[in-house]
Structure 1
Amino acid sequence: MPRSLPRRAGGAVTTALLAATMVTALSHTATAADDTLGSAAAAKGRYFGTAVAANHLGESAYTGTLDREFTAVTPENEMKWDATEPTRNTFTFSAADQIAGHAQSKGMKLRGHTLVWHSQLPSWVSGLGASDLRTAMNNHITQVMQHYKGKIYAWDVFIEEAFRTARAVDPDAKLCYNDYNTDGINAKSNAVYTMVKDFKSRGVPIDCVGFQSHFNSASPVPSDYQANLQRFADLGVDVQITELDIEGSGTAQADNYANVVKACLAVTRCTGITVWGITDKYSWRASGTPLLFDSNYAAKPAYTAVLTTLGGTGSGDGGGGDDGGDPGAACTVAYDRTSDWTDGYNGQVTVTAGSAPITSWSVTLTFPSGQKVSALWNGSPTWNGDVATVRSTTYNGSLAAGASTSFGFTVMKNGNSAAPALGACTAS
Structure 2
Amino acid sequence: MKSIRLATAALAAIALTSPLALVAAAAEVPTSGDLSAGHAKKDTLRWVAPKGFYIGTAAAGGGHHESQPYPDPFTKDLEYRKVLAAEFSSVAAENQMKWEYIHPEQGRYNFGMADAIVDFARKNNQAVRGHTLLWHSQNPQWVEQGDFTPDELREILREHITTVVSRYKGDIQQWDVANEIFDDSGRLRTTDNIWIRELGPGIVADAFRWAHEADPKAKLFFNDYNVEGVNPKSNAYYTLIQDLLAQDVPVHGFSAQSHLSTRYGFPGDLETNLNRFADLGLETAITELDVRMDLPADGVPTAEMLAKQADYYQRTLSACLNVEGCNSFTIWGFTDKYSWVPVFFSGQGAATVMWNDFSRKPAYHALQCTLAKEAVERGEKHPHLPKCA
> Would you call these one fold, judging by a TM-score over 0.5?
yes
1-structure distance, mates of 2:264, 2:332: 17
Partner of 2:367: 306
Alpha-carbon offset, residue 33 of structure 1: 5.5
Aligned CA-pair RMSD: 1.8
Partner of 2:118: 100
Partner of 2:275: 230
More strand by share: 1
Q: What amino acid does structure 2 have at the position aligned with 1:238?
A: E
2-structure distance, mates of 1:280, 1:234: 36
Matches within 5 A, 1:106-117: 106-117=124-135
**SS class of match (2:134):** coil
Match among 280, 285, 292 for residue 336 of structure 2: 280
**SS class of match (1:192):** helix
Alpha-carbon offset, residue 143 of structure 1: 1.1
1:154 and 2:162 are equivalent in the alignment: no
Distance 1:74 1:29, change over 3 A: closer
**SS class of match (1:73):** strand
Alpha-carbon offset, residue 307 of structure 1: 0.6
1-structure distance, mates of 2:39, 2:82: 14
2-structure distance, mates of 1:149, 1:311: 32
1:199 and 2:244 are equivalent in the alignment: yes
1-structure distance, mates of 2:366, 2:311: 7
2-structure distance, mates of 1:85, 1:33: 39
Q: Tell me if the contact between 1:115 and 1:157 (Cα under 8 Å) persists in the aligned partners.
A: yes
Q: What amino acid does structure 1 have at the position aligned with 2:160?
A: H
Alpha-carbon offset, residue 103 of structure 1: 1.0
Q: Unaligned regions of 5+ residues in structure 2, if any?
A: 1-35, 62-71, 179-203, 294-304, 343-347, 374-383
1-structure distance, mates of 2:249, 2:137: 23
Q: Tell me if the contact between 1:243 and 1:275 (Cα under 8 Å) persists in the aligned partners.
A: yes
Q: Tell me if the contact between 2:57 and 2:90 (Cα under 8 Å) persists in the aligned partners.
A: yes
**SS class of match (1:297):** coil
More helix by share: 2
Percent identical: 42
2-structure distance, mates of 1:95, 1:311: 33
Partner of 2:53: 46
Q: What amino acid does structure 1 have at the position aligned with 2:107?
A: N
Q: What amino acid does structure 2 have at the position aligned with 1:41?
A: A
Matches within 5 A, 1:258-277: 258-277=314-333
Q: Deviations over 1:162-217 (max 9, x none)?
A: 00111111111111111111110000000011111111111000111111000003
2-structure distance, mates of 1:147, 1:244: 27
Q: Tell me if the contact between 2:73 and 2:338 (Cα under 8 Å) persists in the aligned partners.
A: no
2-structure distance, mates of 1:260, 1:217: 13
Which stretch shows the higher mean deviation, 224-233 or 244-253? 244-253
Q: What amino acid does structure 1 have at the position aligned with 2:43?
A: D
Q: Tell me if the contact between 1:53 and 1:99 (Cα under 8 Å) persists in the aligned partners.
A: no
Q: Tell me if the contact between 1:174 and 1:207 (Cα under 8 Å) persists in the aligned partners.
A: yes
Alpha-carbon offset, residue 148 of structure 1: 1.3
2-structure distance, mates of 1:130, 1:246: 40
- The count of corresponding residues between Structure 1 and Structure 2 is 290
Distance 1:32 1:76, change over 3 A: closer
2-structure distance, mates of 1:48, 1:306: 10
Q: Unaligned regions of 5+ residues in structure 1, if any?
A: 1-27, 318-322, 324-428
Q: What amino acid does structure 1 have at the position aligned with 2:356?
A: S
Higher relative contact order structure (alpha carbons within 8 Å, sequence separation ≥ 6): 2
Q: Deviations over 1:351-376 (max 9, x none)?
A: xxxxxxxxxxxxxxxxxxxxxxxxxx
2-structure distance, mates of 1:221, 1:132: 44
Q: What amino acid does structure 1 have at the position aligned with 2:116?
A: Q
Partner of 1:22: none
2-structure distance, mates of 1:165, 1:29: 40
Q: What amino acid does structure 2 have at the position aligned with 1:48?
A: I
Q: What amino acid does structure 1 have at the position aligned with 2:44?
A: T
Distance 1:263 1:34, change over 3 A: farther
Alpha-carbon offset, residue 31 of structure 1: 4.9
Alpha-carbon offset, residue 223 of structure 1: 1.1
1-structure distance, mates of 2:153, 2:37: 53
1-structure distance, mates of 2:42, 2:254: 28
Q: Deviations over 1:116-163 (max 9, x none)?
A: 111111111123332211110001111111221221111110121100
